Structure 1
Amino acid sequence: MTPPKTRVQKVITFFYYHDLTRAMEFYEQVMGLTLAIDQGWCKIYHIGGAAHVGLVDQARGMQKASAQKPVQLCIRVEDVDAWYDYASVCALDNLSDMFENDALGIRAFVFNDPEGYQIEIQSATREGS
């Protein structure tokens, strides 16, 4: 048996928050994402293409917010240096230095959202990366 051959409409990664309003403000005002679907206690933001991030009030969601965040949201952009300059001005939490990973073919930096989820912004340094 094989999976159905239907077109994927959206890809949504869900993060769980104690303070949904604070998370919404960060993803709208700092990250510049647009609210695509408002389900009340779950807000789904469009990142690009079919990619979305869902912010969930942990009091209502299927999971609970946790101090440990073993997940990272990675966003590939055309100009990582412009994003780094912007992140520096915003003084984002746990902002790393810019780094390159030659094995992966990326130039990137990381920071944390208001409840500690790590976000990586990266650009490819070579074709096919």
Structure 2
Amino acid sequence: MPRPETANKLAITFFYYRDLPAAMRFYENVLGLSLAIDQGWCKIYRIAEGAHVGLVDETKGMNKWLPEKCVQLCIRVPDVDAWYAYAQEESLDNLSELFVNDDIGIRAFVFNDPEGYQIEIQSATRPGA
């Protein structure tokens, strides 16, 4: 049977939390994301057109919370400097210095959400990057 050729509707990356309300407050109040889909124990937030992050109560989801995180949520923004100033003001956990990666053409910084997932905020330094 051939693979379906219809366009995808959206993408969701799921993170698992022990304290879902605290995660929700962070993604809503600190990152300013809006709740797109409320499934009760799973809250799906819109990052950009077609891109979403799902916050899941680990007691009910398909996976469980683990202390070691091997994923990163990266959000591309038009003004990384403004976001960095905001992140400093908010004293975000494990906030890095603002850095440039010429190999991939970005300026960025990272920090952790309330349960240790790393978030990168970046802007492109050249067209097509």
Sequence identity percentage:
68
Report runs of 4+ in structure 1 exceeding 2 Å deviation. none
SS at match of 1:110: strand
Equivalent residue, structure 2, for 1:104: 104
SS at match of 1:23: helix
**2:30 partner letter:** V
Equivalent residue, structure 1, for 2:64: 64
Equivalent residue, structure 1, for 2:88: 88
Equivalent residue, structure 2, for 1:23: 23
Partners of 1:3 and 1:74 in 2: how far apart? 29
What TM-score does the superposition give when structure 1 sets the normalisation length? 0.98
Alignment of 1:116-127 (within 5 A): 116-127=116-127
Given the superposition, is the C-alpha separation of residues 82 and 59 from structure 1 closer, same or farther in structure 2, using an over 3 Å criterion? same
**Per-residue CA shift, 1:80-116, capped at 9, x if unaligned?**
0000001000000000000000000000000000000
Shift of 1:3: 2.4
Partners of 2:40 and 2:118 in 1: how far apart? 24
Partners of 2:59 and 2:46 in 1: how far apart? 23
Equivalent residue, structure 2, for 1:9: 9
Equivalent residue, structure 2, for 1:54: 54
- For the aligned residues, what is the CA RMSD? 0.7
Aligned length: 129
**Per-residue CA shift, 1:34-68, capped at 9, x if unaligned?**
00000000000000010000000000000000000
